[in-house]
Structure 1
């Protein structure tokens, strides 16, 4: 029953079928090409993510190094961040001596306690072997087998048997400062070109960080020397003994406004002052010097009760200066029968401590009054307390006790405990002990002046 059209349709269908069969063998090739391309893209994405992670790690490392303000901390941070960046088990930084031929310092990380104990008697490397090669040739060095390197001199007894090494020189202001050494990747592979490029970049940032911290150190030392020059050397205060100590703030380059003074007056009388100018800059230091000198002049003119002297000082300062707000305590210690009489007035300052012989230290709490530079018309009351022979009076600034994360009462209690415990020490040792073991966080400078009345 089929017609010509049916007969003619078969070849067409057959041709279509033959064409479909002819194309089928190309589909697997297309799938392979697609898989290959997707694999290549995946590898590129993985490499890009790895590069981004390395870059972020490098940026984090640079920031971490830059935050340090003490040279030993900077050098140790350089080593540990380099180890983290390339996944190294061991790391070290060798600082060159002045000649540039040998290592004068060696900061290491990654050694176990047992390894450190085994190397304790050997001392740190001086720059021989492969380490010396990097000193003589300060180009990046990658070694896959340390024992096979021409400069290898072997390892001393007890030293870990290292196989791989990545070494990079660190330059400061164009001169080689030292060499950064890394060894033994955790994955067991030798260091590669990516490791080298990352550590070279870190070494560049490390050189800048080292230079910055050295500049900070010079500024800090200069600021501290300047501050100490402004403070007096305590005179002979016989029949009393006295000692004082000043400690700068922990943060480098911060000038402070803390000061102390002791002035012998006629009749076995001594005037003592402790003060703190608000601020941490040259203005605060200059204000401290001018206030101290004005106060000395007023005391030598005849003075009077401490409250009257502080009132006159406040009015004078307000009339001729624009000094910052200042807290201070002015005291007079004078003979009183079998002992001594302390008369004092406070301008917003922390209370002094009294340590009677054989008894616990106690604060001489009174109404603190207004600081200098607030309202010179307000009256400044005087206070009085009998002081027995052999007692110790302690005047200090709030840098000795303050810390933002702790109630001030707790720090005051800690200071009384310290003062009581060290009360029998010679005065120079006593004030140092208070400054060494103070309950504050060290964010502010501190001054301590102690005066001891003569024993019977």
Structure 2
């Protein structure tokens, strides 16, 4: 008596595996395209050129996060204000995905646009906060905005939940910026952002950074900031160029223990008095 053909379970299993593999490849390709788009957004939103002014040296470093398929939303920016002063910003958007990268672009564009209305750091952050709330996003961002007067060496700053910047002088003094911080941008209405005013010393440096440079599983934010303070102090005393200092600071991101966005913006000040005394 002839037997009925038996279904080949092995062939059926192989067919299912091929189907699952194809689906996994499609999902991976889609995720990779999201990452590539997010990185393109990041690069497109960051400034290609930095403003110049007598006595001012600006330098930047930016390492985008690429941990697995995650991409962050850190940024830096530097641009001329209508009155000839320089606006500087650095910040970090919550999350690591394409939405964070897009939100970063909105924050940076909002700061630039509103800076044509007011460049007062506290008022500017307040207006930007209101703008982001009106967009209805669930994301938020930390940020520092500085207004620099190159001719007088006066630096005005306000923070929205962001790390304090580091400063150092050529005579060996160094530390973290003092002053209160307001809440992150996009968290709640009617936020206030206190303004701190400082004067740059000739030969001094200011270092703005995001937490990916100084904080991670292998290092607390306090330890990381202390490391940057010491590095900035040595650089100022030695007269190190702003670009070299920016490179040294961002290299410290390798020691924090994770792969996060790392953004660094260094300001060097070497302006001489308008009428320096003549040698005898």
TM-score for both structures, normalised by structure 2? 0.78
- Residue 421 and residue 318 in structure 1: after superposition, are their counterparts in 2 closer, same or farther (change >3 A)? same
Instruction: Name the CA distance, whole Å, in 2 between partners of 1:441 and 1:242.
Output: 28
> Residue in 1 aligned with 2:148?
333
Runs ≥4 residues deviating over 4 A = 212-223
Matches within 5 A, 1:395-434: 395-423=208-236, 424-434=239-249
Residues 1:379 and 2:195 are matched in the alignment:
no
Instruction: Name the CA distance, whole Å, in 2 between partners of 1:394 and 1:348.
Output: 17
> Which residue, 254, 258, 268 being the options, matches 1:442?
258
- Residue 214 and residue 298 in structure 1: after superposition, are their counterparts in 2 closer, same or farther (change >3 A)? closer
> Which residue, 222, 228, 234 being the options, matches 2:49?
234
The answer (yes or no) to whether the contact 2:158–2:196 under 8 Å persists in 1 is yes
Deviations along 1:317-339, one digit per CA (max 9) or x if unpaired, are 11134151110011111157xx4
- Residue 363 and residue 215 in structure 1: after superposition, are their counterparts in 2 closer, same or farther (change >3 A)? same
SS of equivalent to 1:437: helix
The answer (yes or no) to whether the contact 2:167–2:232 under 8 Å persists in 1 is no
> Which residue, 139, 147, 157 being the options, matches 1:324?
139
- Residue 216 and residue 318 in structure 1: after superposition, are their counterparts in 2 closer, same or farther (change >3 A)? closer
Deviations along 1:360-412, one digit per CA (max 9) or x if unpaired, are 43110322221111222132211111212232111111111111344332222
> Residue in 1 aligned with 2:64?
248
CA-CA distance at 1:253 after TM superposition: 2.8
SS of equivalent to 1:249: coil
CA-CA distance at 1:267 after TM superposition: 4.6
Residues 1:259 and 2:75 are matched in the alignment:
yes
Greater helix percent: which structure? 1
Structure 1 gap ranges (5+): 1-211
Residues 1:306 and 2:121 are matched in the alignment:
yes
CA-CA distance at 1:252 after TM superposition: 3.5
Residues 1:315 and 2:126 are matched in the alignment:
no
Deviations along 1:105-163, one digit per CA (max 9) or x if unpaired, are xxxxxxxxxxxxxxxxxxxxxxxxxxxxxxxxxxxxxxxxxxxxxxxxxxxxxxxxxxx
- Residue 315 and residue 247 in structure 1: after superposition, are their counterparts in 2 closer, same or farther (change >3 A)? same
Residues 1:368 and 2:184 are matched in the alignment:
no
Matches within 5 A, 1:41-440: 223-239=38-54, 240-249=56-65, 251-301=67-117, 303-334=118-149, 339-423=152-236, 424-438=239-253, 439-440=255-256
- Residue 217 and residue 286 in structure 1: after superposition, are their counterparts in 2 closer, same or farther (change >3 A)? closer
> Residue in 2 aligned with 1:166?
none
The answer (yes or no) to whether the contact 1:219–1:252 under 8 Å persists in 2 is no
Instruction: Name the CA distance, whole Å, in 2 between partners of 1:453 and 1:259.
Output: 22
Instruction: Name the CA distance, whole Å, in 1 between partners of 2:124 and 2:73.
Output: 20
Number of equivalent positions: 247
Structure 2 gap ranges (5+): 1-26, 273-280
TM-score for both structures, normalised by structure 1? 0.49
